[in-house]
Amino acid sequence: MCTFNLHTTRTHAVPGEGNADAKIMFIGEAPGFNEDQQGRPFVGAAGKFLTELIHSIGLRREDVYITNVVKDRPPGNRDPLPDEISACRNFLDRQIEIIKPKIIVTLGRYSMARYFTGSTISRIHGKPMRRDGVIYYPMYHPAAALHQGGLRKEIEQDMLRIPGLLEELNRAEAPLVPKEPPARQLGLF
């Protein structure tokens, strides 16, 4: 696939899955054990929580696109290394280019660092940034709630803001409708 040397220890590549026309793309960090076994992103305990979060805003996994910054599991489930992230950058860029999401939700610090350089997740989670017609929305990784139960409520609250962000984008893109029919504006009635 795209990773530096991770392909030598993987069972399956995990490129991503979901709706190719999704308005929302979730970008995590790297596949874990369950993802490596199944070749699908976010299918372990953190994935179950992510699915619950997606359902909490009235969507299904099939409505969004889910991927990671690296596409193969790092050995021992360690954090992805800079060279590995760099090796997958073009692949992720191409996914974003094809899908053209309106909202990119970064899950965790490694995907967040791509768009929010020099920031920490604890300071900027839940604070959207708009650039070039896309909203970038940093959130804690769902696994953080499994390790630090106190973050669960924050993650749930951050997720509940996403429909409002999408609605705001849709309103901004809506064409202006004239108050009168065009024929009346021209004096034809």
Query: Residue 109 pLDDT > 70, yes or no?
Result: yes
118-128 mean pLDDT = 94
Say how far apart CA 13 and CA 33 lie, in whole Å. 12
Q: Which residue has the higher pLDDT, 8 or 62?
A: 62
Query: Residue 183 pLDDT > 70, yes or no?
Result: no
Q: Which residue has the higher pLDDT, 75 or 183?
A: 75
Say how far apart CA 150 and CA 55 lie, in whole Å. 21
* Backbone dihedral region for residue 74 (phi beyond 0: left; psi -120 to 50: alpha; all else: beta): beta
The candidate with the shortest Cα–Cα distance to 104, out of 132, 129, 136, is 136
DSSP character at residue 77: G
Query: Residue 79 pLDDT > 90, yes or no?
Result: no
Say how far apart CA 65 and CA 19 lie, in whole Å. 5
Write the CB contacts of 22 (distance below 8 Å, at least 6 apart in sequence): 63, 64, 65, 99, 101
Query: Residue 89 pLDDT > 70, yes or no?
Result: yes
Q: What is the pLDDT of residue 19?
A: 97
**Rg of the chain, C-alpha, whole Å:** 19
pLDDT band for position 182 (cuts 50, 70, 90): low
The CATH number corresponding to 6-185 among 3.40.630.20, 3.20.10.10, 3.40.470.10, 1.10.230.10 equals 3.40.470.10
Say how far apart CA 168 and CA 150 lie, in whole Å. 30
Q: Which residue has the higher pLDDT, 181 or 160?
A: 160
Q: For 8-27, write each residue's pLDDT tens digit.
A: 667 788 899 999 999 999 99
